[in-house]
Amino acid sequence: MNATNATNAMKTTTRKRSNAPIFWALFGAGGMLSALFGPMLVFITGIAVPLGVVLPKDTMSYPHMLAFAQNLIGKGFIFAIIALFLWHAAHRIFHSLHDIGIHAGTGAKLLCYGLAMVGTVIAAYALLAIGF
Q: How far is the CB of 62 from another protein (least distance, A)?
A: 4
Interface with another protein includes 38 (CB under 8 A)? yes
Residue 38 neighbours by CB distance under 10 Å: 15
**Which one, 22 or 104, has the nearer CB to another protein?**
22
Nearest to 54 by CA among 62, 45, 64, 63: 45
Selected from 42, 53, 102, 104, the binder of another protein by CB under 8 A is 42
Q: Which residues, numbered 90-119, are part of the site for another protein (CB under 8 A)?
A: 90, 92-93, 95-96, 98-101, 103, 119
Interface with another protein includes 3 (CB under 8 A)? yes
Task: Give dist(CA 53, CA 102) in Å, integer.
Answer: 43
Interface with another protein includes 5 (CB under 8 A)? no
Q: How far is the CB of 91 from another protein (least distance, A)?
A: 8
Interface with another protein includes 121 (CB under 8 A)? no
Task: Give dist(CA 3, CA 16) in Å, integer.
Answer: 23
Amino acid identity, residue 13?
Answer: T
Q: How far is the CB of 23 from another protein (least distance, A)?
A: 9
44: Cβ contacts below 8 Å, ≥ 6 apart: 55, 59
Amino acid identity, residue 46?
Answer: G
